Amino acid sequence: MPRTSPLHPFTVLALAAAATATTVAIGRWWLSVAVLLACLLLAAWARRARRLAGLAVAILAPAFGSQLLIHSMADAAGGHVLAAAGPLRITAEGLATAGALGLRTGVLVVAGLLCTLLIDRHDLIAAVDLSPAPPQLGYLLAATLLLLPALEQRQRAIGQAQLLRGATLGGGPRGWFRRVRLRSVPLVLGALQDAADRSAHLAARGFPAAGPHTRLRTVPDSAAQRRVRRIALACIVLGPVAVLAPTWAGAA
């Protein structure tokens, strides 16, 4: 079974944001690699390393490919030409720029994905509910985070019913498109019907709360965690400023 973080969700988010902001501002490749490795280790602790790697590759491969195309394949400024063909020039400077930008994007994406794997979504919703944020924010978050699992369950039920009725989908891309076509309309209509059926009862149960409200669920927190969050928030603002200020001063 995957593990989730024993920390308050806001602590995880604040630490991830601080690490990302500082690393991107510093812009050293070795720091980016170190942060990526740390993320991978944390994902391994959560027993979600493969999931993190798969999602990260799916998102970063096209992003990194575009960086290569823009900065490496058609670099006009670099002096160290490694290969050239007509208007296309691959230069060492272009490759270095593409690599550095790709690593910064990687830190941003992997840290964000790690948060989604480490944080229990119900803890996050409860944390927002218990915070001074408007109750509608907790409602929106709950609706957003829980919609996908609900839709997944519903599309599985539709798929089973269609299978029982002899719907032959076949394999490969054609089978995939056929499955999407057959399931998407009943899935959307069913979701709308379900939302309409539930909304009156949710309203009757006072959801979302209009006034002071409580939660049965306890979200782990402590004075130490609150201090860590304050420090992390300071790092998010001051870290990049501290790193970049000398550069700005030099430029001036």
Partner 1 sequence: MSTGPNRVLGLELARFRYSGASRDTLSGINLSLAPGSLTVVLGDSGSGKSTLGAVLAGMLPRHDGDALDATLHLAGQRIRHRPGAAVRIDPVGWARQVGLLPQDARHYLSGVRATVAEELALGLENAGVPRAQMHRRIAALADRLELHALLDRDPAQLSGGQERLVALAALALDTPTVLVLDEPLAGLDAAAAARICEMLDRLRSGGTALVLLARAVDRLTAGADTVLALRAGSCHELDTAVPADPAPLAPAVRGAPGTPDEVLLGFSGVGIGYPGSAHPVVECLELTVRASECVGLAGPNGSGKTTVLKAAAGLLRPSAGQVHGKSLAAGTVGLLLQNPSDQLFERTVAREVAFGLPRRGPAAARIPAVLDSLGLGEHAQAHPYELPASARRLVALATVLVREPEVLLLDEPTEALDAHGLALLHAALAVVLDRGGAVLLATHDEAFMAATAHRVHRMGPAVAARVRDRTGGPG
Task: Catalogue the E-assigned strands of 39-190.
Answer: 81-85, 88-91
- Which of 216, 223, 251, 252 binds partner 1 (CB under 8 A)? It is 216
CB-based contacts of 95, cutoff 8 Å, min separation 6:
71, 72, 82
How far is CA 42 from each of CA 12, 101, 109, 148, 149, rounded to the nearest angstrom?
Answer: 12, 23, 15, 25, 24
The token pair that represents 205 in the structure block: 């149960």
Shortest Cβ 115–partner 1 spacing (Å): 18
Task: Catalogue the E-assigned strands of the chain.
Answer: 81-85, 88-91
- Which CB, 157 or 231, lies closer to partner 1? 157
| 142 interacts with partner 1 by CB under 8 A | yes
Count of residues near partner 1 by CB under 8 A:
48
**Cα angle 187-193-197, degrees, rounded to a multiple of 5:** 140
The amino acid at residue 109 is: V
The amino acid at residue 60 is: L
Task: Catalogue the E-assigned strands of 14-98.
Answer: 81-85, 88-91
Shortest Cβ 10–partner 1 spacing (Å): 18
| 213 interacts with partner 1 by CB under 8 A | yes
| 148 interacts with partner 1 by CB under 8 A | no
Q: Provide, for the chain, the percentages of residues in helix, strand and coil under a 3-state DSSP scheme, each rounded to the nearest 5.
A: 75, 5, 20
| 209 interacts with partner 1 by CB under 8 A | yes
| 132 interacts with partner 1 by CB under 8 A | no
| 237 interacts with partner 1 by CB under 8 A | no
- Kindly indicate which of the ranges 19-27, 122-130, 223-231, 236-244 contains the residues binding partner 1, using the contact rule CB under 8 A: 122-130
- Kindly indicate which of the ranges 21-29, 38-46, 104-112, 141-149 contains the residues binding partner 1, using the contact rule CB under 8 A: 141-149
Shortest Cβ 199–partner 1 spacing (Å): 9
Shortest Cβ 133–partner 1 spacing (Å): 16
Contacting residues toward partner 1, per CB under 8 A: 1, 122, 125, 129, 142-143, 146, 149-150, 153, 156-158, 160-167, 185-186, 189-190, 193-194, 197-198, 200-218
